[in-house]
């Protein structure tokens, strides 16, 4: 009883003002899963939802401000399709909201007119284009987790999931990470909240969830796009990794070819970094590599699986040879 009394006592005047505004305007607000929504679609709306580029993100809101202040303000610059205010369990807002307009020009007008708008003295709000993120990453999954098992559990606690892909974690040995793609930003945001508050019990120390970082996404795509190379660099469970070729690679031979190509294109001697990031039960070792070409715009990196065959060449040298082949291929295509 005490926690409920404490919650109801927070910002009582603001809540009463909101209820009076709802009654006066006939606007209906629906609260579910930590957010309160108007519209989506609003009364009298005809046709499908608005196109991409119609949603704005609103931040730095005073926590005791509600829709009776915010909706009229954002309606003043264009027709609202939907307004979503993120809420705490105590009845305050979480400091941010989303407004989706009927047309892209309305969203642009909202940003131009209301960014840094002084909602109160000394309180200028932020209004900017919504990024519409739809992908989450789960870190800390056990290496034994299968995609089918993970997908089944996700369907139990989240809605709107479109795809699940598993990858070897570039940061943790004997661990996996998963990329989850949802049908919309709203579905992904609700899933993120549900996963942060729940416990999938798919990792030894708990699973961490966050938005998928663009740099990590690019790194995972590089891993998936590796081409087939030597027999000791082929394996891996469920990952797109190199397969066999007849030619047995020698680091010295490959480096000679790479150095010759770099000299031809006026690039200096390449610098290699390799790191073993995972060993699977059958003995295959996953290596991350990065090659810096002085004079080239960006470092080049990727992943490969190496098998220790005990024939004199170290696993790091094998990883360097695969990296050198990767760079030879890229340079051959781009220079």
pTM passes above 0.85: no
30: in domain: yes
* Helical pair 315-334 and 251-264, crossing angle rounded to 10 deg: 30
20: in domain: yes
Residue 125 and residue 151 share a domain: no
What's the CATH code of the domain at 292? Answer: 3.30.160.20
Query: Interior CA angle at 298 toward 292 and 302, to 5°?
Result: 65
The span from the CA of 15 to the CA of 31, in Å, is 14
3: in domain: no
Residue 99 and residue 57 share a domain: yes
What's the CATH code of the domain at 108? Answer: 3.30.70.330
Residue 274 and residue 179 share a domain: no
Q: What separation in angstroms does the CA of 114 have from each of 119, 129, 259?
A: 9, 12, 56
Contact in structure between 102 and 30 (CB atoms under 8 Å): no
Contact in structure between 187 and 159 (CB atoms under 8 Å): yes
Domain final residue pick, 101, 129, 157: 129
Residue 325 and residue 271 share a domain: yes
235: in domain: no
Number of domains in the chain: 3
Domain range enclosing 291: 251-331
228: in domain: no
The span from the CA of 185 to the CA of 278, in Å, is 33
Contact in structure between 191 and 309 (CB atoms under 8 Å): no
294: in domain: yes
Residue 188 and residue 297 share a domain: no
Residue 105 and residue 50 share a domain: yes
Residue 143 and residue 124 share a domain: no
Which parts of the chain register pLDDT below 50? 1-6, 225-232, 234-249, 333-335
Residue 144 and residue 118 share a domain: no
Q: Which distant-in-sequence residues (6+ apart) come within 8 Å of 274 by Cβ?
A: 287, 288, 289, 316, 319, 320, 323
Query: Interior CA angle at 43 toward 42 and 44, to 5°?
Result: 115
Domain final residue pick, 129, 155, 174: 129
Q: 172: left (phi > 0), else alpha (psi -120 to 50), else beta?
A: beta
Note the pLDDT tens digit of each residue in 200-243.
665 555 678 898 887 777 667 655 544 344 444 543 333 333 33
Query: Interior CA angle at 136 toward 52 and 94, to 5°?
Result: 75
222: closest CA among 289, 272, 171, 283?
289
Residue 44 and residue 103 share a domain: yes
pLDDT at 70: 97
The span from the CA of 48 to the CA of 95, in Å, is 29
Tokens of 47: 């046709």
pLDDT at 245: 32
Residue 188 and residue 165 share a domain: yes
229: in domain: no
163: in domain: yes
Residue 99 and residue 141 share a domain: no
């Amino acid at each position: 009883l005490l926690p409920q009394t404490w919650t109801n006592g927070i910002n009582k005047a603001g809540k009463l003002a909101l209820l009076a505004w709802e009654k006066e305007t006939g606007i209906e607000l629906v609260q579910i899963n930590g957010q309160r929504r108007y519209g989506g679609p609003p009364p009298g709306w005809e046709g499908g939802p608005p196109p991409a580029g119609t949603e704005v993100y609103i931040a730095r809101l005073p926590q005791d401000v509600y829709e009776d202040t915010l909706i009229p303000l954002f309606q003043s610059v264009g027709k609202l399709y939907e307004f979503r205010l993120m809420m705490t369990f105590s009845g305050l807002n979480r400091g941010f909201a989303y407004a989706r307009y009927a047309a892209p020009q309305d969203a642009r007008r909202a940003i131009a007119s209301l960014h840094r708008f002084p909602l109160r003295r000394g309180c200028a709000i932020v209004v900017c284009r919504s990024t519409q993120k739809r992908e989450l990453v789960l870190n800390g999954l056990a290496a034994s987790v299968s995609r089918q098992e993970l997908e089944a559990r996700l369907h139990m606690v989240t809605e709107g999931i479109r795809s699940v892909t598993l990858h070897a974690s570039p940061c943790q040995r004997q661990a996996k990470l998963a990329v989850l793609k949802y049908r919309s930003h709203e579905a992904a945001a609700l899933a993120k909240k549900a996963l942060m508050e729940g416990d999938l019990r798919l990792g030894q120390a708990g699973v961490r969830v966050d938005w998928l970082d663009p740099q990590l996404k690019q790194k995972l795509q590089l891993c998936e796009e590796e081409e087939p190379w030597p027999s000791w660099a082929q394996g891996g469970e469920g990952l797109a990794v190199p397969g066999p070729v007849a030619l047995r690679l020698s680091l010295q031979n490959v480096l000679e070819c790479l150095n010759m190509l770099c000299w031809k294109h006026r690039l200096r001697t390449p610098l290699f970094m390799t790191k073993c990031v995972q060993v699977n039960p059958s003995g295959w070792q996953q290596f991350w590599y990065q090659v810096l070409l002085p004079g080239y715009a960006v470092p080049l990196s990727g992943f490969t699986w190496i098998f220790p065959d005990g024939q004199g060449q170290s696993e790091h040298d094998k990883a360097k040879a695969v990296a050198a082949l990767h760079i030879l291929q890229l340079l051959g295509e781009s220079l």
